[in-house]
């Protein structure tokens, strides 16, 4: 496995059914823009992808929107999406901007938390770069 944070759609097509590959649709829209990203996801998404809701996986004690959660909360939230430390995570978004890279930054760097807690062992996911129609 490469350490390059980007994978091609060809790589994803070849590995999408691998047991340890998890695909996340991290689509996001500004407030008031319809349809909602979750509705877009429900209408169409890559096979096996789960929806990564940036507002749900956030620090709800902070009054600002979608602030980064603690490592412990992040671990619980992505665990609830079916992601484990052993998985290779690929993020994509349906928009033409920064939703998938923003979600990518939420994944802690290895060994970034004290005592090497479980959430810190998540490796950074890959972001699919489209070189063909997705």
Average pLDDT of span 16-37? 91
pLDDT (mean) for 17-25: 92
119 in Cβ contact with 74 (< 8 Å): yes
Distances (CA, A) of 97 to 20, 26, 58, 93, 94: 27, 11, 20, 8, 9
User: When comparing pLDDT for 134 and 35, which is higher?
Assistant: 35
d(CA 94, CA 3): 24
Q: pLDDT tens across 42-68, in order?
A: 999 999 999 999 999 999 999 998 898
Q: Where are the beta strands (DSSP E) in the chain?
A: 6-8, 21-25, 50-51, 88-92, 126-129
Most confident region among 47-51, 69-73, 118-122 by mean pLDDT? 47-51
Is the domain defined by 6-129 classed in CATH 3.40.250.10? yes
Cα–Cα distance for residue pair 1/20, rounded to 1 Å: 12
Give 118's pLDDT tier (boundaries 50, 70, 90): very low
Q: What is the DSSP letter of 16?
A: T
Q: What is the pLDDT of residue 49?
A: 94
Rounded to whole angstroms, how far apart are CA atoms 109 and 68?
A: 14
**Residue 17: what pLDDT?**
94
pLDDT tens string 82-112: 988 888 888 888 876 678 888 888 876 544 4
Beta-strand ranges (E) seen in 1-77 are 6-8, 21-25, 50-51
Neighbouring residues of 106: CB distance < 8 A, sequence distance ≥ 6 = 54, 57, 68, 69, 74
């Amino acid at each position: 496995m490469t350490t390059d944070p980007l994978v091609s759609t060809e790589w994803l097509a070849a590995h999408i059914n691998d047991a340890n590959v998890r695909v996340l649709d991290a689509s996001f829209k500004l407030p008031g823009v319809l349809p909602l990203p979750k509705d877009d996801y429900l209408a169409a998404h890559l096979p096996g992808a789960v929806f990564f809701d940036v507002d749900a996986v956030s620090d709800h004690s902070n009054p600002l929107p979608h602030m980064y959660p603690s490592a412990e909360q992040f671990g619980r939230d992505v665990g609830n999406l079916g992601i484990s430390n052993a998985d290779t995570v690929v993020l994509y978004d349906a928009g033409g901007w920064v939703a998938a890279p923003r979600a990518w930054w939420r994944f802690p760097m290895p060994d970034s938390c004290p005592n090497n807690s479980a959430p810190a062992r998540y490796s950074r996911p890959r972001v699919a770069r489209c070189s063909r129609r997705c």
